[in-house]
Structure 1
Amino acid sequence: MCGQPAADVPRWETEDPPSVEFTCEDCFTLLPEARRPDDANHPPGDPTLIDTLRRIVANRQHAKIDGVLVDLWSASVTILIWDQLRDDKRQQLLALPSHQLILRCVAIYTRVTAKNDHQ
Protein backbone atom coordinates (compact mmCIF):
# COMPACT_ATOMS: atom_id res chain seq x y z
CA MET A 1 0.00 0.00 0.00
CA CYS A 2 1.78 3.09 -1.15
CA GLY A 3 -0.99 5.60 -1.76
CA GLN A 4 -0.71 5.42 -5.53
CA PRO A 5 -3.82 3.84 -7.03
CA ALA A 6 -2.49 0.77 -8.80
CA ALA A 7 -5.07 1.25 -11.55
CA ASP A 8 -3.21 4.46 -12.47
CA VAL A 9 -0.03 2.49 -13.20
CA PRO A 10 -0.15 1.43 -16.87
CA ARG A 11 1.99 -1.72 -16.60
CA TRP A 12 4.85 -3.41 -14.77
CA GLU A 13 7.98 -4.01 -16.79
CA THR A 14 10.36 -6.46 -15.14
CA GLU A 15 13.36 -5.34 -17.20
CA ASP A 16 12.93 -1.63 -16.64
CA PRO A 17 10.41 -0.80 -13.90
CA PRO A 18 8.57 2.45 -14.57
CA SER A 19 9.53 5.21 -12.21
CA VAL A 20 6.14 6.13 -10.79
CA GLU A 21 6.66 8.11 -7.63
CA PHE A 22 5.30 6.47 -4.45
CA THR A 23 4.34 3.22 -6.13
CA CYS A 24 5.70 0.10 -4.52
CA GLU A 25 6.44 -3.22 -6.20
CA ASP A 26 3.47 -4.84 -4.41
CA CYS A 27 1.11 -2.47 -6.23
CA PHE A 28 2.66 -3.40 -9.55
CA THR A 29 2.41 -7.14 -8.90
CA LEU A 30 -1.22 -6.71 -7.91
CA LEU A 31 -2.02 -4.63 -11.00
CA PRO A 32 -4.61 -7.10 -12.40
CA GLU A 33 -6.38 -6.92 -9.03
CA ALA A 34 -6.43 -3.12 -9.24
CA ARG A 35 -8.85 -3.22 -12.13
CA ARG A 36 -11.55 -4.86 -10.04
CA PRO A 37 -14.16 -2.77 -8.21
CA ASP A 38 -13.48 -1.47 -4.73
CA ASP A 39 -14.11 -3.86 -1.86
CA ALA A 40 -14.97 -0.92 0.38
CA ASN A 41 -15.44 2.83 0.23
CA HIS A 42 -14.87 4.95 3.31
CA PRO A 43 -15.12 8.74 3.22
CA PRO A 44 -12.92 10.64 5.70
CA GLY A 45 -14.35 10.32 9.20
CA ASP A 46 -15.89 6.88 8.60
CA PRO A 47 -14.92 4.66 11.57
CA THR A 48 -15.91 1.50 9.68
CA LEU A 49 -12.58 1.79 7.84
CA ILE A 50 -10.97 0.20 10.88
CA ASP A 51 -13.42 -2.71 10.66
CA THR A 52 -12.48 -3.19 7.01
CA LEU A 53 -8.78 -3.23 7.93
CA ARG A 54 -9.46 -5.75 10.70
CA ARG A 55 -11.27 -7.91 8.11
CA ILE A 56 -8.21 -7.77 5.83
CA VAL A 57 -6.09 -9.04 8.72
CA ALA A 58 -8.60 -11.71 9.76
CA ASN A 59 -9.00 -12.99 6.20
CA ARG A 60 -5.26 -12.64 5.50
CA GLN A 61 -6.21 -11.18 2.13
CA HIS A 62 -5.55 -7.78 0.53
CA ALA A 63 -8.49 -5.57 -0.40
CA LYS A 64 -9.17 -2.54 -2.53
CA ILE A 65 -10.29 0.42 -0.44
CA ASP A 66 -11.20 3.73 -2.06
CA GLY A 67 -9.33 2.81 -5.23
CA VAL A 68 -6.11 1.76 -3.45
CA LEU A 69 -4.97 -1.82 -2.84
CA VAL A 70 -4.23 -2.40 0.83
CA ASP A 71 -1.97 -5.34 1.61
CA LEU A 72 -2.04 -7.51 4.71
CA TRP A 73 1.08 -5.96 6.26
CA SER A 74 -0.17 -2.37 5.91
CA ALA A 75 -3.55 -3.32 7.38
CA SER A 76 -2.00 -5.17 10.32
CA VAL A 77 0.44 -2.36 11.12
CA THR A 78 -2.38 0.18 10.96
CA ILE A 79 -4.50 -1.87 13.38
CA LEU A 80 -1.51 -2.38 15.68
CA ILE A 81 -0.89 1.38 15.89
CA TRP A 82 -4.60 2.24 15.99
CA ASP A 83 -5.18 0.05 19.04
CA GLN A 84 -2.45 1.94 20.93
CA LEU A 85 -3.73 5.46 20.20
CA ARG A 86 -5.78 7.71 22.45
CA ASP A 87 -9.26 8.57 21.19
CA ASP A 88 -8.34 12.18 20.30
CA LYS A 89 -5.48 10.95 18.09
CA ARG A 90 -7.80 8.40 16.48
CA GLN A 91 -10.26 11.15 15.61
CA GLN A 92 -7.48 13.20 14.01
CA LEU A 93 -6.49 10.23 11.86
CA LEU A 94 -10.08 9.46 10.90
CA ALA A 95 -10.37 12.93 9.39
CA LEU A 96 -7.86 11.85 6.70
CA PRO A 97 -8.60 9.90 3.53
CA SER A 98 -8.14 6.15 4.07
CA HIS A 99 -4.78 5.83 2.30
CA GLN A 100 -3.33 8.75 4.26
CA LEU A 101 -4.52 7.27 7.56
CA ILE A 102 -2.79 4.00 6.68
CA LEU A 103 0.41 5.76 5.57
CA ARG A 104 0.53 7.75 8.82
CA CYS A 105 0.18 4.58 10.89
CA VAL A 106 2.91 2.90 8.84
CA ALA A 107 5.16 5.94 9.42
CA ILE A 108 4.51 5.78 13.18
CA TYR A 109 5.28 2.06 13.19
CA THR A 110 8.50 2.64 11.25
CA ARG A 111 9.66 5.33 13.69
CA VAL A 112 8.82 3.21 16.74
CA THR A 113 10.52 0.08 15.43
CA ALA A 114 13.57 2.06 14.26
CA LYS A 115 14.01 3.45 17.80
CA ASN A 116 13.74 -0.05 19.26
CA ASP A 117 16.32 -1.41 16.80
CA HIS A 118 18.90 1.18 17.90
CA GLN A 119 18.62 0.42 21.60
Structure 2
Amino acid sequence: MIRHIRHPRDLRQSVCGLPAAGVQRWENDPTRVEYTCEDCYTLLPEAQRPDDANHPPGDPTLIDTLRRIVGNRQHAKIDGVLVDLWSASVTVLIWDQLRDDKRQRLLTLPSHELILRCIAIYTRITAKRDHQ
Protein backbone atom coordinates (compact mmCIF):
# COMPACT_ATOMS: atom_id res chain seq x y z
CA MET A 1 0.00 0.00 0.00
CA ILE A 2 1.44 3.36 -1.02
CA ARG A 3 1.43 6.01 1.67
CA HIS A 4 1.16 9.71 0.97
CA ILE A 5 2.61 12.76 2.67
CA ARG A 6 0.09 15.27 3.97
CA HIS A 7 0.41 18.70 2.34
CA PRO A 8 2.03 21.11 4.83
CA ARG A 9 -0.38 23.98 4.10
CA ASP A 10 -3.54 22.15 3.05
CA LEU A 11 -4.45 19.29 5.37
CA ARG A 12 -7.29 18.28 3.04
CA GLN A 13 -4.89 16.89 0.44
CA SER A 14 -1.58 15.10 0.00
CA VAL A 15 1.52 16.72 -1.48
CA CYS A 16 0.85 15.05 -4.85
CA GLY A 17 -2.67 16.55 -4.92
CA LEU A 18 -4.68 13.44 -4.04
CA PRO A 19 -7.62 14.49 -1.82
CA ALA A 20 -7.34 13.39 1.80
CA ALA A 21 -10.57 11.38 1.46
CA GLY A 22 -8.87 9.13 -1.09
CA VAL A 23 -5.76 8.41 1.00
CA GLN A 24 -5.78 5.18 2.97
CA ARG A 25 -2.44 5.63 4.76
CA TRP A 26 -0.41 8.72 5.63
CA GLU A 27 3.37 8.72 5.87
CA ASN A 28 4.62 10.52 8.96
CA ASP A 29 8.27 10.55 7.98
CA PRO A 30 8.84 12.03 4.48
CA THR A 31 12.42 10.70 4.41
CA ARG A 32 11.21 7.08 4.05
CA VAL A 33 11.17 6.84 0.28
CA GLU A 34 10.54 3.11 -0.09
CA TYR A 35 6.89 3.26 1.04
CA THR A 36 5.98 6.78 -0.03
CA CYS A 37 4.25 7.98 -3.18
CA GLU A 38 7.08 9.12 -5.47
CA ASP A 39 5.13 12.22 -6.54
CA CYS A 40 4.61 13.21 -2.89
CA TYR A 41 8.29 12.83 -2.20
CA THR A 42 9.58 14.72 -5.23
CA LEU A 43 7.07 17.57 -4.93
CA LEU A 44 8.02 18.45 -1.36
CA PRO A 45 9.48 21.98 -1.25
CA GLU A 46 12.59 20.64 0.50
CA ALA A 47 13.17 18.08 -2.27
CA GLN A 48 13.05 20.75 -4.98
CA ARG A 49 15.69 23.00 -3.47
CA PRO A 50 19.23 22.87 -4.89
CA ASP A 51 21.88 20.67 -3.32
CA ASP A 52 23.79 22.11 -0.38
CA ALA A 53 26.79 19.90 -1.21
CA ASN A 54 27.95 17.45 -3.88
CA HIS A 55 30.38 14.70 -3.01
CA PRO A 56 31.47 12.10 -5.56
CA PRO A 57 32.37 8.65 -4.19
CA GLY A 58 35.76 8.76 -2.50
CA ASP A 59 35.46 12.40 -1.40
CA PRO A 60 36.49 12.60 2.29
CA THR A 61 34.94 16.07 2.67
CA LEU A 62 31.54 14.34 2.95
CA ILE A 63 32.27 13.73 6.64
CA ASP A 64 33.05 17.44 7.08
CA THR A 65 29.68 18.28 5.55
CA LEU A 66 27.98 15.84 7.93
CA ARG A 67 29.82 17.40 10.87
CA ARG A 68 28.57 20.80 9.70
CA ILE A 69 24.98 19.46 9.67
CA VAL A 70 25.44 18.28 13.25
CA GLY A 71 27.10 21.52 14.32
CA ASN A 72 24.40 23.71 12.75
CA ARG A 73 21.63 21.38 13.94
CA GLN A 74 20.08 21.78 10.50
CA HIS A 75 19.34 19.25 7.73
CA ALA A 76 20.96 19.60 4.32
CA LYS A 77 20.60 18.21 0.83
CA ILE A 78 23.63 16.21 -0.26
CA ASP A 79 23.80 14.74 -3.76
CA GLY A 80 20.03 15.06 -4.18
CA VAL A 81 19.18 13.37 -0.87
CA LEU A 82 17.88 15.18 2.23
CA VAL A 83 20.06 14.28 5.23
CA ASP A 84 18.53 14.95 8.63
CA LEU A 85 20.35 15.75 11.85
CA TRP A 86 19.97 12.26 13.34
CA SER A 87 21.36 10.48 10.27
CA ALA A 88 24.30 12.87 10.10
CA SER A 89 25.10 12.50 13.82
CA VAL A 90 24.90 8.69 13.70
CA THR A 91 27.15 8.62 10.63
CA VAL A 92 29.74 10.85 12.29
CA LEU A 93 29.54 8.80 15.51
CA ILE A 94 30.18 5.52 13.66
CA TRP A 95 32.81 7.11 11.39
CA ASP A 96 34.86 8.25 14.38
CA GLN A 97 34.95 4.69 15.74
CA LEU A 98 36.05 2.95 12.51
CA ARG A 99 39.58 1.94 11.57
CA ASP A 100 41.14 3.72 8.61
CA ASP A 101 40.86 0.71 6.27
CA LYS A 102 37.10 0.46 6.97
CA ARG A 103 36.74 4.20 6.37
CA GLN A 104 38.45 3.91 2.99
CA ARG A 105 36.12 1.07 2.02
CA LEU A 106 33.07 3.14 2.99
CA LEU A 107 34.35 6.14 1.05
CA THR A 108 34.09 4.18 -2.20
CA LEU A 109 30.27 4.25 -1.82
CA PRO A 110 27.96 7.07 -2.90
CA SER A 111 27.10 9.45 -0.04
CA HIS A 112 23.61 8.10 0.63
CA GLU A 113 24.92 4.51 0.74
CA LEU A 114 27.67 5.49 3.18
CA ILE A 115 25.09 7.09 5.47
CA LEU A 116 22.78 4.07 5.25
CA ARG A 117 25.65 1.67 6.07
CA CYS A 118 26.61 3.70 9.15
CA ILE A 119 22.96 3.74 10.27
CA ALA A 120 22.80 -0.04 9.82
CA ILE A 121 25.94 -0.48 11.94
CA TYR A 122 24.49 1.79 14.63
CA THR A 123 21.19 -0.13 14.59
CA ARG A 124 22.97 -3.48 15.04
CA ILE A 125 25.07 -2.13 17.90
CA THR A 126 22.12 -0.61 19.75
CA ALA A 127 19.94 -3.68 19.15
CA LYS A 128 22.59 -5.93 20.75
CA ARG A 129 22.93 -3.56 23.68
CA ASP A 130 19.15 -3.42 24.21
CA HIS A 131 18.83 -7.23 24.26
CA GLN A 132 21.52 -7.75 26.87
TM-score by length of 1: 0.80
Aligned residues, how many? Answer: 106
Unpaired segments of 5 or more residues in structure 1?
1-9
Give 2:129's aligned residue.
116
Distance 1:82 1:17, change over 3 A: same
One-letter code aligned to 1:11: C
Larger Rg: 2
* d(CA) in 1 for partners of 2:85, 2:61: 17
Residue by residue over 1:6-42, the C-alpha shift from the partner in whole angstroms, topping out at 9 and shown as x without a partner, is xxxx73866444895265xxx95x9211101000000
Give 1:60's aligned residue.
73
Unpaired segments of 5 or more residues in structure 2?
1-14
* Larger relative contact order (Cα-Cα within 8 Å, sequence gap ≥ 6): 1
* d(CA) in 2 for partners of 1:97, 1:44: 5
* d(CA) in 1 for partners of 2:80, 2:111: 10
Describe the SS at the equivalent of 1:64. strand
Describe the SS at the equivalent of 1:11. coil
* d(CA) in 2 for partners of 1:65, 1:20: 16
TM-score by length of 2: 0.72
Task: Tell me whether 1:106 sits opposite 2:104 in the alignment.
Answer: no
* d(CA) in 2 for partners of 1:52, 1:88: 21
* d(CA) in 2 for partners of 1:22, 1:36: 22
Distance 1:12 1:95, change over 3 A: farther
* d(CA) in 2 for partners of 1:12, 1:73: 29
Give 1:80's aligned residue.
93
